[in-house]
Chain A
Amino acid sequence: MKLITHNMLTSKCLKGVVTGYPLAINATDIKVKEVDFNPEFISRVIPKLDWEVLWVAADSIGHSDGLPRSLENKYDENEEFLKKAHKVLLEVEVEEGHLTCPESGRQFPISKGIPNMLLNEAEVQ
């Protein structure tokens, strides 16, 4: 699971959960896999994401080095910044671990890089 994907996941379909966002990450195996740098894509996708949530997620798994906690103006012109954003969005992968719902504490296992968000019938809203 890449952090760009974590940025879009919620547990709000759990019964009794209001926002279920962001999910906490507990990682037991993290890999960094090289991905071609595409600054145009990074600039275009950042406005669609929650930057604060990305920063906290990266920090919680030890990958926030040099990453600004809030977005500066004209970040799309700052190649150094875009490279760092590229790394945390696309190159850092949580292979094993789990995600935790911030409201209910329900855990969602991550296995072989794939989060399992399936709920049983009794848990669904």
Chain B
Amino acid sequence: METPHQNHIDKADFDHVYEPAEDSFLLIDAIEKDLENLRSRNPALCLEVGSGSGVVVTAFGMAFPSTFCISTDINFRACIMSKKTAEYNKVIFDSVRMDLASSFADNIFDIIIFNPPYVVTDSEECGGDDITASWAGGVKGREVTDRLLEMIPKKLAKDGTFYLLLIEENIPDEVINIMSNHGFRYKTVVRRKVRNEQQIVLKFYRIIY
């Protein structure tokens, strides 16, 4: 997979929007690892929740030119940057400012991707709409992730796949349990140790009988 060009971005904008880092690239690696499976499913619609700079969803769109990609972010500057990143890399795309995926119709997306604010913080730090919102995850670093987990069964198409990045402190087993109660199976796509952080990308899907 190609890494999206980012020369269009003014570095000063990264004071307000999360700058692509190891976690962003691990998600791109996860999609690359799953490429054959994804190609066989020929997704029509892909959503990245909390897209920040837009590099992950743009990388997806570059690999899947026959997929329409949408991103959301609570931070308007991130919405603008995502849109520019996609346009600069010639990906057909739209960006919407919203809370997670709350304003979409049901059973729509073939693919949903989420790199959450996963850092363990006080609850008070979590829930803003500026750059803090890109990393502050509250208790267990899971407060935002857990809200999205409740939306996934509705927003994902019946045969859709949800890719989620977590770190060890988020207690991935608890997330797997929550999703299992919603009827989802999981696979570990990729894991990597970055400095002192154990990052993991899981994918969740339903078995269709």
Question: Which residues of A sit under 8 angstroms from B98, Cβ to Cβ?
Answer: 116-118
A29, B45: Cα distance in complex, Å: 26
Interface flags, A1-35, vs B, CB<8A=1, else 0? 11011011111010000000100000000000001
B residues in contact with A1, CB < 8 Å: 94, 96
Which segment of B64-72, B111-119, B173-181 sits at the interface?
B64-72
Instruction: Report chain A residues within 8 Å CB of B66.
Output: 38, 40-41, 44
Contacts of A13 in B (CB 8 A): 99, 102-103
Bound state CA distance, A119 and B102, in angstroms?
Answer: 10
Report chain B residues within 8 Å CB of A41: 44, 66-68
The 5 closest A-B pairs by CB, nearest first: A117-B98, A117-B103, A5-B94, A116-B97, A41-B66
A13 to B70, CA, bound (A): 19
16 A-B interface contacts by CB (under 8 A): A5-B94, A8-B108, A10-B104, A38-B66, A40-B66, A41-B44, A44-B42, A44-B66, A48-B44, A48-B108, A112-B80, A113-B94, A114-B80, A117-B97, A118-B99, A118-B129
How many chain B residues touch A (CB < 8 A): the figure is: 27
Min CB distance A18 to B, Å, is 14
Contact of A9 among B68, B74, B83, B96 (CB under 8 A): B96
Please determine whether B80 and A4 come into contact, CB atoms closer than 8 angstroms.
no
Q: Is the CB of B105 within 8 A of A44?
A: no
A5 to B101, CA, bound (A): 13
Task: Scan residues 32-59 of chain B and give those whose CB is less than 8 A from a CB of chain A.
Answer: 42, 44-45
* Residue from B65, B80, B92, B104 within 8 A of A8 (CB atoms): B104
**Which residues of chain B have C-beta atoms less than 8 A from A35's C-beta?**
92
Q: Is the CB of A44 within 8 A of B103?
A: no
What residue of chain B has the Cβ atom nearest to residue A90's Cβ? B92
Given A44-B44, A48-B44; A118-B97 close (CB under 8 Å):
yes
Residue B161 is within 8 A (CB to CB) of chain A in the complex: no
Return the CB mask of B74-88 against A: 1 if under 8 Å, else 0: 101001100100000
| Chain A hits for B99, CB < 8 A | 13, 117-119
Chain B positions within 8 Å of A71 at CB level: none
A97–B87 CA distance with the chains assembled, in angstroms: 21
Nearest neighbor of A33 in chain B, beta-carbon distance: B87
B24 within 8 A of A: no
In the bound assembly, the distance between CA atoms of A40 and B42 in angstroms comes to: 11
Residues of A contacting B104 in the complex (Cβ-Cβ under 8 angstroms): 8-10
Closest to B67 in A: A41
Shortest CB distance A116–B (Å): 5
Residues of B within 8 Å of A117, CB to CB, are 96-99, 102-103
Q: Quick check: is B170 within 8 A (CB to CB) of the other chain?
A: no
- Note all chain A residues with C-beta closer than 8 A to B44: 41, 44-45, 48
Choose from A8, A40, A116 the contact partner of B105 (Cβ within 8 Å).
A8
Give chain A residues whose Cβ lies under 8 Å from the Cβ of B45. 8, 45, 48
The distance from the CB of B81 to the nearest CB of chain A, in whole angstroms, is: 11
Min distance, Cβ B67 to any Cβ of chain A, angstroms: 8
Instruction: Determine whether B95 belongs to the interface, using a CB cutoff of 8 Å to chain A.
Output: yes
Q: Nearest residue in A to B72 (C-beta to C-beta)?
A: A117
